[in-house]
Amino acid sequence: MSLLESVALAAIQGLTEFLPVSSSGHLALASEFMNIPAGSMAFEVVLHLGTLVAVLLIYGRDLSSIAVGVVRGRREGMLTALSLLLASVPAGIVGVFLSDRIEAVFGMPLVVSLLMLLTGTVLFLTRFSPPGRGEPGIRRGVFIGFFQALAVLPGVSRSGLTISAGLFRGVDRAEAARFSFLLSVPAILGAAVLELPKAEWNTPVGVLVAGFAVSALVGYGALKLLLRFVGAGALHRFCWYCWAVGGFGTVWFILNRGA
């Protein structure tokens, strides 16, 4: 993989990790359409850790507050931590027991395109979500966690589905986004831990550093942009993009299936 290719993939990862359009789906389709190699497992781990930096820059204080609350036995901090822990369980189970089948989907661009259409439909339905009030809590948090488990599939947006799930259950917009991205921390770390034993660190250091830096910087900007859309009640507007990409991909891969 060249330095330019690593920067291109890192930019795609950083932009689509947080915008509700599925980073895994874009990487899979980019690899198919542009003939760009997806990169080594080590490179993918580095890209995910780069986007984790973006989350920590924006929600670092929240994570610190939760950690202090747990250590000091504060009820609010302990409830939030428990909600995040329980919400992480469904995706963790899916990742551990179905990882091989999930990886196989990355080589099925038609399926990825159809899942992009599904993501767009979920986003569109947020237009009709009830008025938001308060934080997720444990029950709503677990409900959001089941939506996150679906997002292990390429083409299904983790941020899109988890924020949508919160909105469907009447969670405040800002709190739905906050919970979604706090929930992304164990998800990203868990994925990195699962992938590290398989990783072969034969990718040039310069490629890894460039990928990490670009995914972190672009991810930070994308996360800031998404928070503006969520705050304005405009999450559903991303449905048009998902439908366009998913629709084009579906038609393209059906027509070229035998080519």
- Nearest C-alpha neighbor of 29 from the set 124, 111, 104, 120: 111
Instruction: Assign 259 to helix, strand or coil.
Output: coil
Q: Are 161 and 150 in contact (CB under 8 A)?
A: yes
The alpha carbon torsion through 144, 87, 95, 252 (nearest 10 deg) reads: 10
pLDDT tens digit sequence for 13-52? 888 888 998 877 877 777 677 665 555 566 777 888 888 9
Structural domain that includes position 244 = 3-255
| Mean predicted lDDT score pLDDT of the chain | 86
The whole-angstrom separation of Cα 92 and Cα 34 is 32
Q: How is residue 246 written in tokens?
A: 């998913």
How does pLDDT run across 144-191, given as a tens digit for each residue? Answer: 999 999 988 888 999 999 999 999 999 999 999 999 999 988 878 877
Q: What percent of the chain has pLDDT over 70?
A: 91
Decide if 168 contacts 126 (C-beta within 8 A).
Answer: yes
Q: What is the pTM of this model?
A: 0.88
Beta strands in the chain (DSSP E): none
The three-class DSSP label of residue 233 is: coil
For residue 259, what pLDDT is reported?
Answer: 47
Rounded average pLDDT over 114-118 = 95
Residue 41 confidence (pLDDT) = 63
Alpha-carbon distance of 107 to 190, in angstroms, equals 22
Counting the structural domains of the chain, the total is 1
Q: Are 58 and 50 in contact (CB under 8 A)?
A: no
pLDDT of residue 37: 54
* Tally of CB atoms within 10 A around 234: 12
